[in-house]
Every structure is written in C-alpha cells, then in structure tokens.
Structure 1
Amino acid sequence: MEAMILAAGLGTRLRPLTNDKPKALVDVGGQPMLERTAHRVVDAGFEHLVINVHHFADRVKKVIEEKDGFGAEVSISHEVEKNLETGGGIKHADPQFRKEGPLLVHNVDILTDLDLKALHDAHDESGALATLAVRPVETNRYLSVDERGHVVGYGDPETGEEHLVTDPQGPTEKVDFIGVQVISPRIFDLMTEEGVFSIINVYMRLIAEEGEAVRTHRADDALWIDIGTHERLEKARRYVEGKKEKKEENLLQG
C-alpha cells in the first residue's frame, strides 16, 4: 500500500516558529509532525510514502534521510516554485506513485488516532473516487453529505451558505473534512486543473459534471487536532505530554 503525506505547507499562522522551518518539522511531543505522521502511516501497513516538499525543502529531505525514510520507501515530490496546495500537490506527485491500489493522503498538520487501515479498506470496498474522513461540523468550511454518506456540496467559508453541486438523496448533514482521505488512482486521469488548486474543488467538479461518488468515513470518536495555529499546536502538545505522563504513571504502578 502507498500513501502521500502533504508536507509542503508554509505554516504562516505558526510564525515565528516557521520562520526557520516548515510546518512539517514543528515539534509535538519531541517529534516533528512529519515523523509522527509518517510512523502512524507506516505502522498501518503503508510501505511506500510520497512526501511533497516546498518550504525549507532541504531541511525536510535531511530529516527523511536521517530517519531512514521512517522505515518505508520514500519518494519526494518537490514543488520548486510554489506550494501547489492539496490538488496541485497530488497532481504534481503523479510520477512518484505506483498506482497499484488506492492512495492514502494525510495532511502533515493533523494529529489523529484514526484507524488508517480501516479507512483504506472502507474505500477499497466502496468503488468511490475518494473517501474522506469526516467529523461533526465546527466551521463554515464544511461539506454537505446526504443520507448515503455521499458528498453533495460545500459551505461558503465566508458566509456559511450551503452550495449543493448535485441532488442529494434525503436530507443533508454538514461535516468537517479532517485532512485524511483515500483516493482512487484514476483521479489522475480526471484532473484537468493546472497549477495551484484544492482537491476539494476537483471533487466538486467531478461530482457535478461526471456524477462521480465521493464518500465519507465517520471519524466522530477519533482524536483530531489541526496544529495550524498556535492555540491548536499547544493543545496537541498538551495532549501528547498528557499521554506520556499517563504511560509513565502506569509503568510505575505496574
């Protein structure tokens, strides 16, 4: 199995921490987020990792080399001129993939205990173009899903207004995408977008124009912390430190 870790982000909201390092190398619990994410992905059975880099790319490459690829075969997709966002980054990495099966795509700035193998297997059985891990809505940047769990629209990030791109089956529910997904490799034949673009925009176009199915996988009970702001980064650090302290306490009691 293979996976992509989206690690090219600038981390502008984390400045000054990211003045001399990319967001992927921000420390949580004694580990850079890239290392922490990669180990979870590898532990779930993904033996080939594609990692995109841009901001302080050489530093990211050095960590990958020093950590011996986190125990996996690693291919680097270097976005030299600019960060291509999620869709552009995935498309740019096309030559790096083996495409022997579905591709797990994991944002590097997400701390989660989601069962990645279960997400992969759920997608593999569905026949959908993509399967997105989601949780109850907290923001205006939501997705609309129908009673089948299919994505049928999105929320305007400014106003929160719902925009449906296809007719839903039954009532709709608003959910947040948590930055972990599984994608069919046929996506590469369907992406006509160029340059910098979001993968969510690709899905909306393909749902509307081609009738493609993009399904959701509920992650309501999973840990999920997006470390993209100082406040949430500190929350993630407190969580990890709390787990360490509890583990040490259990060892002492044992």
Structure 2
Amino acid sequence: MKAMIFAAGLGTRLRPLTDHKPKALVEVGGEPLLGLALRNLARYGVTEAVVNVHHFADQVEDYLSSVQTPLRIHISNERQQLLDTGGGLKKARPWLQDAPFIACNVDVLSGLDIRAFYQAHLDSGAMATLAVRSRETSRYLQFDEGMQLTGWRNAKTGAHRACRPTAVARDFAFSGIHCISPELFGFMPETAVFSIIDVYLEAARSQRVLGYPHDDTPWMDVGKHHALGPAAELAARLFV
C-alpha cells in the first residue's frame, strides 16, 4: 500500500512557529507532525510514501534522510511553485499510478483504521473515498443517502456547487484523508495549480466518489496553535 503526505503547505495558521521551520516539522508531544504521519501509515501496512515539499523544503528533506521509518520515501519537489492539493497529487503521479493509494494532510491526527478504510474503497469500486465527519466547519462536502458526493457548499459565503441531482444533500466535513484510484488522474486539468476538491466534484458527475463517515474515531486538525496541546494528548493515546 502506498500513500501521499501533503507536507508542502506554508503553515500560516501556525505562525510564528512556521517562520523558521515547515509545518511538517512542528512538534506535537516532542515529535514532528511528519514523523507522526509516517508512523501512523506504517502501522496500518503502508510501505511506500510520497512527501511533497515547498516551504523550508531542505529541512523536510534533511529530516526524511535521518528519520527511522520502515517506509520507502519519495520526495515530490514543489520548491518553485506550491501546487495545491490537486496539483501536488498530479506531480506525484509517477509514484502513484499503479494501484489505489492513501492521501493525507500532514497536520491531521486520526484514529481512523487506514487498512479498513482502504479495503472499503476497494470493495466499493469507487474512484475516490473521502473520510468525513459530522462536525462544524466553514466548507462542507455534500452527499446523498448512499454517501455519493453530490456537491460542496461554503457556509460563510453561501456559495454552492452541485455535481449531481439529489433529493437529499447531507453536509459532512472532510477529514483530510482520502483513498484514491489512479483513474482519477484522468479527470485532472492541464493547469499546474488546482484543488483536489475541484477534481472530486468533476469526477462525481459520472463516477463514484464516496464519503466514509468516521465519527466513532478520534480526529484533530493540528493546523492552529490552540490545537497543539490537545494534539499531544491525542498522539499519546494513539501511539501507545
């Protein structure tokens, strides 16, 4: 099983911690977020991972060259231009086009069983499976009763994008964890910089893009200062 870790972001919500280091190397309970992500993937059977780099890329590469991990690591270099989630995934395609793979944000901690999540994706025949939760957020993915993606809405601005007609549209918050079949690359635009959410909305017009609720497992976005303390407590529980 392979994975992509999105680690190239600027980490603006964590400044000033990220003024001199990348978000991926901000420590939670004494360990960098990237190290926790690698450990989490490894314990569920991932053997190979792509890590994209941009902000303080040299620091991330130095860390990956010295960290103790059973995973085979590939670096996807975005030094010249930050490509967003979709563009970053597209650039990493050479390592990820032979089988379905996991993708995750480096600043997410979760107790989601990645192996079960991956198997559910394989069993469903979906092009992409997105881990989601029932929580408050500013932007929601919308699903029908069968958990097929039908749209997206911004709760702050009122903006809405529908990709499938549906009688019922249920709001869920995306958890930043995906399982993707390589066929999704065929729905990506020619442009270099784009969001993966745009790709999902386009693909869902004709393909199965499914939500995978996991409200029964712990989850945390560690992208803000106030989350660092609770994140350390969660990491201690997850990695006993």
Same fold (TM over 0.5): yes
Residues 50 and 76 in structure 1, CA contact (< 8 A), matched pair in contact too: yes
Q: CA RMSD in A?
A: 1.6
Judging changes above 3 Å, is the alpha-carbon distance between structure 1 residues 40 and 106 closer, same or farther for their aligned structure 2 residues? same
Matched, 1:4 2:1: no
2:232 corresponds in structure 1 to 237
- Residues 20-50 of structure 1: per-residue CA shift (max 9 Å, x gap): 1111001001110000011110111111111
Compared CA separation, residues 193 and 224, structure 1 to 2 (3 A): farther
Structure 2, unmatched stretches of 5+, are: none
Letter matched to residue 10 of structure 1: L
Q: Which residue of 1 aligns with 2:212?
A: 217
| Counterpart residue identity of residue 81, structure 1 | Q
In structure 1, the residue corresponding to 2:204 is in which secondary structure? helix
C-alpha displacement of 1:161: 4.8
Match of 1:189 among 186, 190, 194: 186
**Percent of residue pairs identical:** 42
Between 1:145-154 and 1:197-206, the stretch displaced more is 197-206
Q: Which amino acid in 2 is paired with 1:89?
A: G
| Equivalences for residues 104-253 of structure 1 within 5 A | 104-156=102-154, 158-168=156-166, 170-208=167-205, 211-240=206-235, 243=237
Q: Which moved more, 1:193-202 or 1:155-164?
A: 155-164
Measured after TM superposition, the shift of residue 238 of structure 1 is: 3.9
What SS is found at the alignment partner of 1:8? coil
Conserved? CA contact 2:101–2:179, under 8 Å: yes
Q: Which amino acid in the other structure matches residue 77 of structure 2?
A: H
- Once the two structures are superposed, residues 57-104 of structure 1 have per-residue CA deviations (whole angstroms, 9 ceiling, x without a partner) of 111111111114x2111111010212111101000111233x332110
* Paired residues, number: 239
Q: Does 1:38 align with 2:38?
A: yes
AA aligned opposite 2:101: L
- TM-score by length of structure 2 reads 0.94
Instruction: Compute the displacement of 1:149 (Å).
Output: 0.5
Q: In the superposition, relative to structure 1, how do residues 199 and 193 fare at CA in structure 2: closer, same or farther (>3 Å)?
A: farther
* Aligned position for 1:250: none
1:164 Cα deviation from its structure 2 partner: 2.1
Which structure is larger by alpha-carbon Rg, 1 or 2? 1
Contact 2:184–2:203 (CA under 8 A) maintained in structure 1: no
Shift >4 Å, 4+ stretches: none
Alpha-carbon shift at residue 186 of structure 1 (Å): 1.2
CA apart distance, 1:213: 1.4
Gap change, CA 1:29 and 1:184, over 3 Å in 2: same
Whole-Å Cα distance in 1 between the matches of residues 23 and 207 of structure 2? Answer: 33
**Once the 2 structures are TM-superposed, how far is the Cα of residue 193 of structure 1 from its aligned partner?**
4.2
Letter in 2 for 1:226: D
Give SS of 2:215's match: coil
Q: State whether structure 2 residue 66 is matched by structure 1 residue 66.
A: yes
Larger proportion of helix: 1
Contact 2:203/2:209 (8 A) holds in 1: no
